[in-house]
Chain A
Amino acid sequence: MSDRRTFLKGAAATIAASTVTAQAQAATGEKKPAPKSSGAGLDKTIERPGSDFMVDVLRSLGIEYVASNPASSFRSLHESIVNYGGNRKPEFITCMHEESSVGMAHGYYKASGKVMAMMAHGSVGIQHAAMAVYNAWCDRVPVMLIGGNFLDAAQRRPGVEWGHCSQNPAALLRDYIKWDDQPASLQHFAESTVRAYKMAMTPPMEPVMIVADGMLQEHPIEDEKGLSIPKLVLSAPPQGETGAVREAAKILSSHEKVVIVCERVARNQEGVKRMVELAEALNAPVVDLLGRMNFPTTHYLCRSGDGRALVRDADVILFLEVGDPWGQLNTISDPHHQYRRIAKPDVKTIHVTLADQLMKSNYQDMQRFCPVDIPISADAQATLPSLTEAIRQISKPRSGKTEALKKAYQQMQARAREAAAHGWDASPVTVARLSSELWQVLKNENWCLAESRGGSWASRLWPATQHHNFLGSSGGAGVGYIAPAAVGAALANKDKGIITAVIQPDGDLMYAPGVLWTAAHHRIPLLSVMHNNRAYHQEVMHLQKMAGLHNRRMDTARIGTTIEDPNIDYAKLAQAQGVWAEGPITDPAQIGPALRRALAVVKKGQPALVDVVTQGRSA
Chain B
Amino acid sequence: MKWVLVLLAGSALAQEPPAGDAQRGHAAFLKYQCYTCHGTLGQGGERGTGPKLAPNPFPWAGFEFQVRTPRQDMPAYRKQHLSDQELADIYAYVRSVKASPSASAIPLLKID
Contacts and interface: CB of A to CB of B under 8 A. Distances in A.
B101 to A, nearest CB: 6
| Most interface-central of A426, A545, A618 (chain B CB within 10 A) | A618
Nearest to B78: A551
Contacts of A511: none
A422 B31 contact: no
Interface string B57-77: 000000000000010111111
Given A421-B102, A423-B100, A551 B76 contact: yes
B41 A558 contact: no
A418 B102 CA distance: 6
Interface string B78-109: 10111000000000000000001111001011
A180 B39 CA distance: 47
Nearest to A537: B36
A619 to B, nearest CB: 3
Given A418-B103, A455-B47, A548 B75 contact: yes
B101 A463 contact: no
A366 interface: no
Interface residues of A, number: 50
Given A436-B109, A541-B37, A554-B81, A619 B75 contact: no
Interface in A423-437: 423-426, 428, 430-433, 436-437
A118 interface: no
Given A333-B73, A545-B73, A551-B76, A420 B36 contact: no
Mostly, the B contact residues are: loop
B33 interface: yes
B16 interface: no
A382 interface: no
A618 B33 contact: no
Contacts of A551: 76, 78, 80-81
Contacts of B73: 333-335, 545
Given A544-B36, A552-B81, A426 B75 contact: no
Interface of B: 31-33, 35-41, 43-50, 52, 70, 72-78, 80-82, 100-103, 106, 108-109, 111-112
6 contacts: A333-B72, A421-B106, A431-B46, A433-B108, A540-B33, A548-B75
Given A421-B106, A555-B33, A615-B45, 15 more contacts: A333-B72, A334-B73, A430-B39, A461-B109, A462-B111, A541-B37, A545-B75, A547-B75, A551-B76, A551-B81, A554-B77, A616-B39, A617-B45, A618-B46, A619-B44
**Closest 5 A-B residue pairs measured CB to CB?**
A548-B75, A619-B39, A618-B45, A423-B43, A422-B43
